Amino acid sequence: MPGRAGQAARERNAAAQRRRRERLRQAQREAEALRLAAERAAERGEAAADRPAQDGADGAVDNSDGEQAEAEREAARERIRERQRQRRAAMADAEREAEHLLDRERQRQRRADLPEEEREAERQQDGERQRQRRADLPEEERAARRAADAAAAARRRRAARERGNRSACDAEAVLSGRQQVAVQDTGQRNINCEHCGALRWPSERATLCCQAGKVRLEPVPAPPALLRRLWTEDDLLARTFREHSRRLNTALSLASMMTREVRPADGGYAPSVVIQGRLYHRLGPLEAGDGHEPSFAQIYVNDPACADPATEAAMRLGHVPLPRATSPAVRQRLLTLLEDLQLLLREVNPYVQDFILASELPEDQVDQQQLVISAEARPADQHRRRYNPAEGFREVAVLIGDEPVHQDIVLRRRAGADGPALQTINETHRAFEALHYVLLLPFGTDGWQPGLRHAVPNARGVYGQLTLTQYYAYRLQERPGMDDTLLRGARLLQEYVCMAFARVETQRLLWAARNQQAIRADLYQRLEDALPADALAEQREGEQRLGRRIILPASFTGGLPHSHILLIVRQEDRPRTADDVDAVISAELPDPTQSDQARRLHAIVVRSMVHRPCNTMRPAPACIINGRCDKGFPKPYAAVTEWRDDCPYIYKGPDRQMVRADALVGLDDEIAAYQDLRSIGASEACWRLFEEPISRQQPTVVTLQVHLPNQQLVYFEPGGEQQAIEAARRTQLTAWLEYTRGQIDMPAQLRRLFGVILLFCAPAAPMQLFERHLHDMAEDFVRRHAGLPDDLQATLVLLQLEEQLQQAGKQLDEFGLPVPTAEQRALAADLEHADAERRHLPRPIQEEMEHDDAELHDQLAAQLPVLLPHGSRAAVAGACLRRSPLWRHFVVAQLRTNMRARMAGGEDGAELEAFADWLLQLGDGRLPGPEDGFVQLPPELTMDADVTAVIDWVFDGLADHHDDHQWMASRAVLAPRNTRVDAINAAVTALFPGEE
* Domain residue spans of the chain: 11-35+92-108, 187-213, 217-378+392-516, 731-838
Q: At what angle do helices 225-232 and 236-243 cross, to 10 degrees?
A: 90
DSSP reduced 3-state for 173: helix
* pLDDT number for residue 2: 41
Longest dimension (CA), the chain: 145
pTM across the whole model = 0.56
How crowded is residue 245: how many other Cβ atoms within 10 Å of its Cβ?
A: 22
Over 645-697, what HEC string results?
A: CCCCCCCCCCCCCCCCHHHHCCCCEHHHHHHHHCEEEHHHHHHHHCCCCCCCC
* Averaged pLDDT in 10-residue chunks for the chain of 996 residues: 50 63 64 62 50 42 54 71 65 57 71 78 79 76 77 75 61 77 82 93 91 93 95 94 94 90 71 85 84 84 82 91 88 95 94 88 68 67 50 73 71 67 86 94 93 90 92 95 92 94 90 68 42 43 49 70 72 82 77 88 84 68 75 76 59 38 53 82 91 74 73 70 72 75 71 87 88 88 82 91 87 91 88 75 61 49 47 59 70 69 65 77 71 72 79 83 81 82 84 70
For 372, the 3-state DSSP assignment is strand
3-class state of residue 281 by DSSP? strand
Strand, coil or helix: 438: coil
Amino acid found at 923: G
Residue 731, SS3 per DSSP: coil
Q: Is 715 helix (H, G, I), strand (E, B) or coil?
A: strand
Q: Are the CB atoms for 754 and 803 separated by under 8 Å? A: no
Amino acid at 425: I
CA-CA distance, 22 to 19, in Å (whole number)? 5
What is the pLDDT, as a whole number, of residue 414?
Answer: 75
DSSP secondary structure letters along 388-416: EEPTT-SS-EEEESSPPPTTSEEP-SS--
- Three-state DSSP at 619 gives coil
Are 275 and 502 in contact by the 8 Å Cβ rule? The answer is: yes
Helix ranges (DSSP H) in 690-745: 721-727, 732-743
In this prediction, residue 200 carries a pLDDT of 92
Q: Report the pLDDT value the prediction gives residue 531, as an integer from 0 to 100.
A: 38
Distance CA 551, CA 513 (A): 8
pLDDT confidence of residue 672 = 82
